[in-house]
A and B are shown apart, each in its own frame.
Chain A
Amino acid sequence: MLKLSRNEKIAHAIIYFLLIALTLAFLIPFIIVFSTSFISDAEFARRGGYVLYPEAFSSGAYDILFGRSKVILNAYGVTLFRVIVGTGFNLAFTITMAYALAKKDLPGRVPLTIFVFITMVFSGGLIPRFLLVDALGLRNTLWSMVFPGLINAWNMLIMRNFFMSLPEELFDAAIVDGASPPTVLLRIVLPLSMPVIATIGLFYAVWHWNSWFDAAIYIDRSNLKPMQIILRSLLETTNMQGLEELAFIEDPPPAASLRSALIIVSTVPVLFIYPFVQRYFVKGIMIGSIKG
């Protein structure tokens, strides 16, 4: 379309170069970890650490993670519980409240919105929250990873804005036809709102998948620990205390390759789905950035 001058061509070359360099900077850490997850103890000893590419492929680390260690499978189970049950609860609570607050002439709508908004600008802090979860008896239960974060105020307001953008006539027509409010919600609003529900659901699901700190402070029992906790404890220790089974293996893979394998195992599902769902996320940010 536009003809570029010599200077502009140079500038473009620089821009392309920088963007390629940046893309590599995003990818290389993953490539290193992926490669290192396949190296054997011998190669590790020879090359002295993390590698950009393996010379020979050894699946020792994955054999242990999936074959001999119950810890990993159990942690995967806990994480899946968080993601599936947790996200389900998140959506149920978020949708119902957002739908109520979207009703334009609901008496008390503004005070209720302010009531939610206050929690976004001020919080009691870490210690009172911890003591509350303790007092409610939620510590060392799976619910400690579900209930404290049931509704994200920001997500709820995004959803409320979406509901408010639906045409009012739609509901009036349905009411005239004799539909009750629950029918309107279930039969008309929810089917129309699938894109925003998918978006917010994904926000919650990724949050659950990646959460570490809440489990770190609420969960002590090893069989209730999610993936991120196990990953963290393996990354932290120089020996592999996190996986007690390793003590009985004759020729264990090097710690670096076990850690790398665990990073891959805990990241692959996200790596796999995010390119397909990112446009929903982008849409979510857009809706959120429009004030309502």
Chain B
Amino acid sequence: MSRESRIAMPRTISSAETAKDGRYRRLLKRMWFYRFYYLLALPGILYFVIFHYLPMIGIVIAFKDISPFGGVVGIIEAPWVGFKHFNRFFNSIFFWDVIENTVVISGLKIIFGFPAPIIFALMLNEVTRLKFKRFVQTVSYLPHFISWVVTTGLITALLATSGGLVTEILNNMTGERWTFLTNPDQFRGILTLSHVWKTVGWSSILYLAAMAAIDPALYEAAAIDGANRFQMARYITIPSIAFVITILFIFEIGNLLDAGFEQILLLYSPAVYSVSDIIDTYVYREGLLGLKYSFAAAVGLFKGVMAFLFLIAANTLANRLGQPGLW
């Protein structure tokens, strides 16, 4: 028995080794067989390594004190300072302002911007004149295709303090001087409204698609049972698109820290910083205008980590609710 096993043992090992060896060789052979595909993927992989993974490594500057003119050598040689920049941010007078602005503006956009396309889609769904429906849809997509720079120009045409069409009309009507874009009481409203204006049509697409997939037999059966159009919308249409609503809402929450960087950067001014300076604009001003690279990178990393946690939480929630999340 022991003899046998002593003889058998090496044999098993060696055969296991050959099996492992063989698996490697087979894998290499398969990889060689697919060499053309690796070649195809290579430029893309290099792109992601250089432009996405290198900046992730570059985040080390948040824990250093780099000088704005040192270049790569300066980054490597700069002294480590631990969490100094994070502490400075957490203790700065701007910290809660910036966090509040980000969450409040984002929240306003969700409160008004999230139901808007659902209501819009429900209204379009009631339209029986197809040409009219298609026209309204096409026009509603228009704002999606223009840049924020142009949108800002349109907002200025309406609301500029001097010469804005709406401003002048209100000035003449009320006898007061209206200052929309520099008025802290109105600025968040303008951000929210212009966000809704730009996204409502385009965001309605997924809801309309979900509505188009509803079996018409459901409506016919409801009609026979004597349901009116309101009841059909309430008991057939809305439950049928509930899963789209849930999943889009969860990801809206997951993106809570993205309050609309370009929009705010293009529209705000020092007069309204107190109500509109979000994390992203703060990073931009401190970092690229103030040249405090390390500090701004630390603030950016804080946002990146928080956003990542939000997304994970949102996705976990989606999975708990039985919805396919992002992963």
Contact = CB atoms under 8 A, between A and B. Distances in A.
Interface of A: 2, 4-5, 7-8, 11-12, 15-16, 18-19, 22-23, 25-27, 29-30, 32-33, 36, 48-52, 92-94, 96-97, 99-101, 103, 105-108, 112, 115-117, 119, 121-132, 135-136, 147-148, 150-151, 156, 180-182, 185, 206, 209-213, 217, 228, 231-232, 235, 256, 259-260, 263, 266-267, 270-271, 274-275, 278, 281-282, 285-286, 289, 291
A15 B154 CA distance: 27
B81 interface: no
Contacts of A30: 142, 154
Interface string B113-136: 000000010011011000010011
Given A19-B136, A127-B287, A286-B209, A32 B52 contact: no
A52 B141 contact: no
B158 A32 contact: yes
A32 B159 CA distance: 12
Contact of A101 (B41, B57, B149, B162): B41
B31 interface: yes
B163 A27 contact: no
A291 B324 contact: yes
Interface string B51-68: 111111111010000000
15 contacts: A12-B126, A19-B123, A22-B140, A92-B43, A97-B41, A115-B45, A116-B48, A124-B58, A125-B303, A127-B287, A127-B297, A147-B47, A150-B47, A151-B47, A274-B141
Interface of B: 27, 30-31, 34, 36-38, 40-41, 43-45, 47-48, 50-59, 61, 71-72, 75, 120, 123-124, 126-127, 132, 135-136, 138-143, 145-150, 152-158, 160, 162-165, 167-168, 197, 200-201, 205-206, 209, 223, 228-230, 261-262, 265-266, 280, 283-284, 287-288, 293, 296-297, 300-301, 303-304, 308, 311, 324, 326-327
B229 A97 contact: no
8 tightest CB-CB pairs across the interface, nearest first? A49-B163, A97-B44, A124-B55, A125-B300, A128-B58, A210-B147, A100-B41, A128-B55
A217 B262 CA distance: 12
Given A19-B124, A122-B56, A103 B142 contact: no
A42 B262 CA distance: 35
B59 to A, nearest CB: 5
A133 to B, nearest CB: 9
Contacts of B304: 122-125
Contacts of A212: 147-149, 262, 266
Nearest to B154: A29
Contact of B59 (A116, A128, A256, A291): A128
B41 A48 contact: no
Q: What is the predominant secondary structure among interface residues of chain A facing chain B? A: helix
Contacts of B301: 124-125
Nearest to A288: B206
B160 A285 contact: no
Contact of B157 (A125, A260, A267): A260
Contact of A99 (B40, B157, B168): B40
Contacts of A147: 47, 51
A22 B54 contact: no
B207 to A, nearest CB: 11
B111 to A, nearest CB: 19
Contact of A49 (B124, B162, B223, B303): B162
Contact of B55 (A2, A125, A270, A285): A125
Contacts of A275: 138
Most A CB contacts (10 A, CB to CB) among B48, B52, B154, B229 go to B52
A263 B262 CA distance: 18
B165 A93 contact: no
Contacts of B152: 232, 235
B135 A32 contact: no
A121 B55 contact: no
A267 to B, nearest CB: 5
Nearest to A47: B168
A162 B48 CA distance: 21
Given A112-B45, A124-B59, 15 more contacts: A2-B223, A19-B124, A22-B136, A22-B140, A36-B157, A119-B53, A124-B300, A136-B50, A151-B47, A181-B37, A210-B146, A228-B147, A231-B150, A232-B149, A274-B141
A262 B19 CA distance: 70
A278 B144 CA distance: 11
Given A26-B140, A29-B158, A30-B154, A100 B40 contact: yes
Nearest to A275: B138
Contact of B126 (A15, A25, A156, A182): A15
Contacts of A19: 123-124, 127, 132, 136
A176 to B, nearest CB: 15
B48 to A, nearest CB: 6
